[in-house]
Amino acid sequence: KIVPVIMAGGKGTRLWPLSRASAPKQFIQFIGDRTLFQNTLERVSDPELYEAPIVLTNEEFRFLVAEQARELDLKLAAVLLEPVARNTAAAVAAAAALITDLFGKDAIMHVLGSDYEIHANATYYDCVRLARDTALQGKLVTFGITPTEPATGYGYIESGKALPTGAHAVKRFVEKPALEKAQEMVANGSFYWNSGMFMFSAAQLLAEMKEYAPDVEKAASKAVSKSTRDLDFTRLDADHFSKSPDISIDYALMEKTANAAVVPSPFTWSDLGSWDAVWKVGNRDESGNVSAGSTTLVNTKNSLVMSHSLHIAVQGLEDVAVIASEDAVYVGHLKDSQEVGKLVKLLASEK
Ligand code: GDD
Ligand code: MG
């Protein structure tokens, strides 16, 4: 069976003010009645296919994780707490070391982010099984989404020759390219977006980390061997874990490995990383507006208006986001959605 590994330690600053340091986007209900984290848990809850999941997060979110799993009546194999944020390479390496202890080194792990929506139909699970079969051949498997625009916030995967399982070898993996490069790759036609999910054996992941990111592997493995367990939580050793470089798995490993594979993935996938992405996947009315909560829109087009508190009235605007949380309001152009993270940094520095 596959061991799910859910990464739920990100801050989600581009969705401010609904996504806050105290409750980032993966833990809030901003569309529908489940959180993104809960949707992710549900996708890996089939006991025929999956073991109980391992969740990676930090001290601050540990009760949110435990409570949201309990709401769904789902058992977790472990909640692994990172003493400091060292990004996804260290988190995944730590999970692989823990899985080696709990399930053996040949265990196949399915790494999932908790910040995108997937339509988990039969096509999706066909892709998951194909990825598992390909991971059993020693590959680091990615899921390739057909790009619709030259987005710069994603990894790009160039597909190569077919492998025996039906997946494809990866010729090149390019994380977060500049716009011009992204335009070239989308026009080229043989590139996919990286979905943010991976499938590999714990042994293969650790071996390749040792080769391409030895400092990450060493820090993570030692942090696991010196970890402490209390009730539901496993705490990584802070001295060792903090020695890991702060780098994502995409840069640390996927851009470098010669063993990457891609499963072409025709299921519906949408990243919910920024307000323009939320607007794109939302239910648009005849004026192109997506709204939630208490709102009135007059002569307003192609906008996202969401309130978790006050009544919002918008008149005569186009292509804007107006978002109200309990204690803050954001107003901006949807085209500036990628910049909200910078605004949040500024706010934090003014405190
Ligand atoms: N536990 C833990 N610890 N989780 C983390 C950490 C960390 O230090 N940092 C990030 N995460 C979680 C986030 O909460 C998210 O669910 C996931 O890991 C991915 O992190 P992001 O920071 O959102 O990455 P990204 O969106 O910039 O890029 C990744 O995802 C894209 C698709 O959404 C890359 O894999 C891209 O290649 C990919 O296209
Ligand atoms: Mg993301």
The number of the ligand nearest the C-alpha atom of 11 reads: 1
User: By C-alpha distance, which of 166, 152, 116, 157 is closest to 267?
Assistant: 116
Question: In the prediction, which pLDDT does 13 show?
Answer: 84
β-strands 228-230, 233-235: how paired?
antiparallel
Percentage of the chain lying above the pLDDT 90 cut: 82
CA distance 87 to 270: 22
Nearest CA to 196 among 237, 138, 141, 244? 141
Pocket probe for ligand 1: among 20, 248, 249, the residue whose CB has the most ligand atoms within 8 Å is 248
- The pLDDT value given to residue 153: 87
Query: Which ligand 1 atom is at minimum distance from the Cα of 11?
Result: 14
Give distance in angstroms: CA of 40 to centre of ligand 1: 14
Question: pLDDT value at position 31?
Answer: 66
pLDDT reported for residue 22? 77
Ligand 1 centroid distance, CA of 315 (Å): 36
Per-residue DSSP letter, 68: H
Instruction: Return the best residue to mutate from 41, 81, 154 for the ligand 1 pocket (most ligand atoms within 8 A of CB).
Output: 154
Q: Percent helix, strand, coil in the chain (nearest 5)?
A: 35, 30, 35
- Which residue's alpha carbon is nearest to atom 15 within ligand 1? 113
Residue nearest atom 37 of ligand 1, based on CA coordinates: 155
Nearest CA to ligand 1 atom 3: 9
Cα 76 to Cα 53, 61, 69: the distances in Å are 5, 15, 8
CB 274 within 8 A of CB 337: yes
Per the listing, tokens 């995409």 go with 250
Atom of ligand 1 nearest to the CA of 154: 39
Quick one: average pLDDT of 41-47? 97
Q: Tens digits of per-residue pLDDT, 169-191?
A: 999 999 999 999 999 999 999 99
pLDDT at 156 over 80: yes
What is the tally of helices (H) and strands (E) in the chain?
A: 11, 19
Tens of pLDDT, residues 113-135: 998 889 999 999 999 999 999 99
Q: How confident is the model at residue 12 (pLDDT cuts 50, 70, 90)?
A: confident
> Which ligand lies nearest to the CA atom of residue 182 in the structure?
1
Alpha carbons 99 and 144: distance in angstroms, whole number = 25
**Gap between the Cα atoms of 128 and 121, Å rounded:** 11
- Beta pairing partners, 111: 5, 198
ipTM of the complex: 0.99
User: Strands 155-162 and 168-175, how do they pair?
Assistant: antiparallel
Ligand 1 atom nearest to 90, measured from its CA: 8
Whose Cα sits closest to atom 7 in ligand 1? 87
Over the stretch 191-219, which tens digit does the pLDDT of each residue have?
Answer: 999 999 999 999 999 999 999 999 999 99
Q: Which residues lie with the beta carbon below 6 Å from any ligand 1 atom?
A: 7-10, 26, 56-57, 82, 85-88, 91, 113-116, 153-155, 175, 193-194, 196, 250, 271, 273
State the pTM of this model: 0.91
